[in-house]
Amino acid sequence: MDQTLTLLQIVVTAITAIAASSGFWVFINRKRNINSLTRQLLIGLAHDRIVTLSLEFIGRGWITQEEHENLYVFLYNPYQLMGGDGSVLRLMDDINKLPIRSVPLHNILKEIKNDDK
């Protein structure tokens, strides 16, 4: 019983010493900053991709159902949930006004090749 109590005291003392040390808090703050920077970077990349794709679709004048779903599910919704500032909201409203076309993939590829010429 005495050994168990002594071991418990040592463990509690060690944990308290680690928590009280400045190095521990520097480590925690550095992790927070990295997470914050990573979050900002992801929001920025999502914003850029949403703007790029939206302008492409709006310029084309139509969107496929798959493109619309991918834009919302994989970019816009996570962007909003991560704290995106809503600056792409007007573009997304314009996207929602586009006609949805059902275009076979080979036709889209052919159109892209013709645009490159």
Quick: pLDDT tens for 77-100: 999 998 888 889 999 999 999 999
Distance separating alpha carbons of residues 81 and 68, to the nearest angstrom: 18
pLDDT of residue 102: 86
Q: Where are the domains of the chain?
A: 2-116
Evaluate if residue 37 carries a pLDDT over 90: no
Distance separating alpha carbons of residues 106 and 99, to the nearest angstrom: 20
Tell me if 84 sits within 8 A of 43, measured CB to CB: yes
Could you report the per-residue pLDDT of 11-27, keeping only the tens digit for each?
777 777 776 666 666 66
Cα angle for residues 83, 84, 86 (degrees, 5° grid): 125
